[in-house]
A and B are shown apart, each in its own frame.
Chain A
């Protein structure tokens, strides 16, 4: 393909040589062509990603309230508020809540997904149906699922408390108790995400050559040894993929929190994005929301780069 392209380009170059004495470097022309191919994407990113980030940074130095048409530059006032004012308390609170939520979702997706994948890694009709049942919640819209869970978690009329009452246990305030609310949100997340983790792991497991297992069996390795010495290392690229994608999506959780708890009770489920949303859409303080958003962006960037660096040396790509 490259030869054809260069051939065509050479013809074009010869044709043009009469008109101009300038010589066009084939590598440079190829680079321009490549650049033109990605230009639409770059324009899209520039308009919808990079420009908003720059704008966000700009707004963080203003006093813009969404209700007002005008704003003033206020220097580092919002940054001082975030790191030395009343915003600090809620910043660390949302950071703590987001980390807890993220750890929970990672645990459910990675460990839960792996466990389910091991259980359902059999190609029979019955297991196919069960896999489908576990995976199906992923396709239920989060908003719909959250509304149903709102009823399931209801303290007085919810099905969970009804089941608890059948075995003589007291009712639990699933969404109104600060110690239970985040767990309740994670229960909804787990219900939706564990099937996804399972499917990704299952697909990866099928890609592991059986030769490894046969050789290990011949050497006397038992099932546990085969899992830890073959399956787990071979799944490390998949684990890294799941870790990074789940981590990033969990850091951006919003919808389930918005519908189930609105960040409460007492901000015990106020994750980062909901914290930003509260400043922007409840208090209408776009200045403060932008400041927190920029901080969040930088934090995510650092954590993602660190994750990639740390995990880079521990992933086995050869299967």
Chain B
């Protein structure tokens, strides 16, 4: 009897596997509902003339908005949502906090694969947009933009590029930030230190800004470099001529001598006690922040979005400075965009589009810019009285507004997430555990090449 059961089980297993294999090389459908192409066809044209009536909201509908805005923003979130709900009768928005950007990413991709419980609209870290676009997760917004005659040219050029995939707008800039160096302005004035503009001047700067105890240990770090997200150190490499992904799209230059020189330089600073690498742990960000607030670090590399947090918590004046550049002084867009999952039905997408326009409007954008450290996203607002008032209130943002043209979209690649994980882990290992930098970079590049080649 047992033998019979075993034979039957084996046969069923083999049959199922073979049945699957019978398609040999053909494609199968893994998801549950309609694909982007199908839904776009349902909705109407993606190019040329657009029937605006297909994108109108005609019946009352309740939609969900997934966001990653933590507790300190809850009042603003509620106010924004309430204002929208009260401004019209058809759409009711329910805001739902999901967690960090990576948690939103996990939840969104899982819901997309299952084809159920998708939000009508969601935030997404700008680094994920390319992957979502390639996978067909995001709705192509082109027909919506055409139907509503929506002006996307008012967004900063880099911002709107960051929201595109294959030259199609698949998301809109929402809460946008960039990398920045926060520094203790009181300390800087007292010690007569200015933040260097060039990477080559960093040695002298760190030597001056770092304070040591009598036993040689570090009392005040010159700067702290975040290691939990490669976004923070990515531009150090790019501005020194390193191509993170080569034009062939399947190899990296992260093992060449320029890249090794950058990594070696940071390692030397760590070894000298000028700086420390935070690592990748969950508490890395809060530890770094606390060190700066406690006066144990002269400066930290972080995101502009935390400007208000630092100002509120520090009992000294907080300055912001553009990161030291090399051949170039480019930086990258951070923060999040808004997107509409493509697998939603058309009525939900239409309602989401209405809410998306509202969230990206000048007024709402300025609400966020004033209450947080996120940047104004509209070019037109900068020359208005409102824009000038913003700068008066937050003069430190002048460092960013002076360099708006240097803020670029993130690198877009299907395997970017995998690359980023390998990169940050390898960097953390060599910075914190020691080891030979060139061989560590070589090993890391091999792994990244494998991932890029297989994507």
Q: Is B30 an interface residue (CB 8 A)?
A: yes
Q: Is A155 an interface residue (CB 8 A)?
A: yes
Q: Is B131 an interface residue (CB 8 A)?
A: yes
Q: How far is the CA of A313 from the CA of B113 in the complex (A)?
A: 48
Q: How far is the CA of A62 from the CA of B23 in the complex (A)?
A: 11
Stretch of B60-68, B132-140, B306-314, B371-379 at the chain-chain interface:
B132-140
Determine if A266 and B30 form an interchain contact, defined as CB atoms under 8 angstroms apart.
Answer: no
Whole-angstrom distance between the Cβ of A91 and the nearest chain B Cβ: 14
- Chain A residues within an 8 Å CB radius of B137: 67
Determine if A65 and B282 form an interchain contact, defined as CB atoms under 8 angstroms apart.
Answer: no
Whole-angstrom distance between the Cβ of B243 and the nearest chain A Cβ: 21
Determine if A282 and B136 form an interchain contact, defined as CB atoms under 8 angstroms apart.
Answer: no
Q: Is A247 an interface residue (CB 8 A)?
A: no
Q: Is A222 an interface residue (CB 8 A)?
A: no
* Residues in B404-455 with C-beta less than 8 Å from chain A: 414, 417-418, 421, 425, 428-429, 432-433, 446-447, 450-451, 454
* Residues in B11-51 with C-beta less than 8 Å from chain A: 12-13, 16-17, 20-21, 23-31, 35
Determine if A175 and B13 form an interchain contact, defined as CB atoms under 8 angstroms apart.
Answer: no
Q: How far is the CA of A57 from the CA of B17 in the complex (A)?
A: 8
Question: Could you say which of A58, A72, A265, A285 contacts B280, with CB atoms under 8 Å apart?
Answer: A265
Q: How far is the CA of A264 from the CA of B432 in the complex (A)?
A: 12
Interface string of B104-116 (1 = CB under 8 A from A): 0010011011000
Determine if B136 and A69 form an interchain contact, defined as CB atoms under 8 angstroms apart.
Answer: yes
- Chain B residues within an 8 Å CB radius of A71: 27-28, 30
Whole-angstrom distance between the Cβ of B249 and the nearest chain A Cβ: 16
Q: Is A73 an interface residue (CB 8 A)?
A: yes
Known contacts A86-B447, A282-B417; is-contact A265 B432 (Cβ 8 Å): yes
Question: Could you say which of B17, B281, B446 contacts A264, with CB atoms under 8 Å apart?
Answer: B281
Determine if A69 and B35 form an interchain contact, defined as CB atoms under 8 angstroms apart.
Answer: yes
Interface string of A109-140 (1 = CB under 8 A from B): 00000000000000000000000000000000
Known contacts A67-B132, A154-B283, A265-B432; is-contact A58 B112 (Cβ 8 Å): no
Give the interface residue-count category, chain A. 35 or more
Question: Could you say which of B16, B287, B428, B433 contacts A155, with CB atoms under 8 Å apart?
Answer: B287
Whole-angstrom distance between the Cβ of B175 and the nearest chain A Cβ: 23
Question: Could you say which of B13, B102, B283 contacts A57, with CB atoms under 8 Å apart?
Answer: B13
Number of A-B contacts (CB under 8 A): 113
Q: Is B290 an interface residue (CB 8 A)?
A: yes
Q: Is A281 an interface residue (CB 8 A)?
A: yes
Determine if A266 and B27 form an interchain contact, defined as CB atoms under 8 angstroms apart.
Answer: no
Q: Is A79 an interface residue (CB 8 A)?
A: no
Known contacts A68-B30, A72-B26; is-contact A178 B35 (Cβ 8 Å): no
Q: How far is the CA of A70 from the CA of B28 in the complex (A)?
A: 5
Question: Could you say which of A55, A64, A70, A73 contacts B21, with CB atoms under 8 Å apart?
Answer: A73
Determine if B283 and A58 form an interchain contact, defined as CB atoms under 8 angstroms apart.
Answer: no
Q: How far is the CA of A19 from the CA of B134 in the complex (A)?
A: 67
Q: How far is the CA of A139 from the CA of B287 in the complex (A)?
A: 31
Q: Is B279 an interface residue (CB 8 A)?
A: yes
Interface string of A139-158 (1 = CB under 8 A from B): 00000000000100011110
- Chain A residues within an 8 Å CB radius of B16: 54-55, 58
Question: Could you say which of B28, B109, B279 contacts A284, with CB atoms under 8 Å apart?
Answer: B109
Question: Could you say which of B136, B418, B421 contacts A68, with CB atoms under 8 Å apart?
Answer: B136
Q: How far is the CA of A281 from the CA of B110 in the complex (A)?
A: 8
A-B contact pairs, 20 of them (CB 8 A): A54-B12, A54-B13, A55-B16, A58-B17, A61-B20, A65-B135, A66-B110, A67-B136, A69-B135, A70-B29, A73-B20, A73-B26, A86-B446, A155-B283, A156-B290, A176-B281, A265-B279, A267-B425, A278-B421, A282-B102
Closest 4 pairs between A and B when the two form their complex, measured CB to CB: A67-B135, A69-B31, A266-B429, A70-B27
Listed in ascending order, the chain A residues whose CB lies under 8 Å from chain B are 50, 54-55, 57-58, 61-62, 64-73, 81, 85-86, 150, 154-157, 175-176, 178, 261-262, 264-267, 278, 281-285
Known contacts A55-B16, A175-B283, then 14 further A-B pairs from the complex at CB < 8 Å, ordered by chain A residue = A54-B16, A58-B20, A66-B109, A66-B112, A67-B131, A68-B30, A72-B25, A73-B26, A156-B287, A175-B281, A176-B432, A264-B281, A281-B109, A282-B106
